[in-house]
Amino acid sequence: MNAEYCWSEIGIEGDRSCDRLESVGHCINCPVYHEAGRGLLNREIPLDYLQEWTEILAQPPEAQMGTLSTAVKQDSLKIGQGTTLSAMVFRLGSERFALPVSILQEITRPVPIHTLPHRSDDLFLGLVNIRGEILPCASLSQFIGVEMPIDPTYSRINLRRMMVIGQQESRWVFPVDEVHRVYRFHPDELQKPPVVIAKAHQSYTRGIIDWQDKKVNYLDADHLLNTLDRRLL
């Protein structure tokens, strides 16, 4: 089997028969997945791409900026034409949510949460150690107003995970009841959230996507992270 595609055949997006899943929790944490990614990054540069950048860098600095600005505008136009969005679908209680893959840094099995005196509460849970780095941990279900089931056996313990999200200096960890898979969809598929949903989740929902006959709340990652930083740090 081609290692570049094992994630979609026997991994998290396939039949999940891979014997590594039990130990790594998700393909994104697997060394085979990492090696496949490195292979893509280290592949030979296409000649037309190399020629394009050679021509750009041969221009004066002012001309370079103009050329790059035009290229960015052209790429932006393509977003509404054929580009798909990638989001990680996960579960909190009985509801499904999704966040852009671009802000997802890691998915790990639950680790101990260290509470802080006079700081930790139902929203700010405390600090966690992720691969030697201390990161803040918050309850996303409390933050966006998800009603969790009273029965603690509702969520299978072996499915629970922690998601590490953010960019650069702003990173957060939050527990989830289950991580499903990466789902790709076209921007046109994003539906407007019902008024009830928008109120319940404090307007953190950008829209609704259909996934496996279920409604998934696609969250506004930037708004979510900015508000977390303002309220809890």
Task: Give the tens place of pLDDT for each residue, 57-93.
Answer: 777 766 655 565 555 445 444 444 557 889 999 999 8
- Confidence at 5, pLDDT banded by 50, 70, 90: low
> Cα dihedral sign for 76, 77, 80, 86?
negative
User: Residue 154 has which token pair?
Assistant: 């509702």
Whether 187 and 202 have beta carbons less than 8 Å apart is answered as no
- Confidence at 2, pLDDT banded by 50, 70, 90: low
What is the per-residue pLDDT for 150? 60
What is the per-residue pLDDT for 162? 95
Question: What mean pLDDT do residues 151-177 have?
Answer: 81
Name the 3-class secondary structure at 126.
strand
Domain 85-232: give its CATH code.
Answer: 2.40.50.180
Instruction: Give the integer Cα–Cα distance in Å for 108 and 106.
Output: 6
What is the per-residue pLDDT for 116? 94
Question: What mean pLDDT do residues 199-225 have?
Answer: 86
Domain residue ranges in the chain: 3-41, 47-79, 85-232
**DSSP letter (8 states) at residue 104:** E
Please give the full DSSP string across 162-203, using - where no structure is assigned: EEEEEETTEEEEEEESEEEEEEEE-GGGPBPPPHHHHHHTTT
pLDDT at 123 over 70: yes
From first CA to last CA, the distance across the chain in angstroms is: 46
Q: Name residues whose C-beta falls within 8 Å of residue 201's C-beta, 6 or more positions apart in sequence.
A: 144, 145, 146, 193, 217
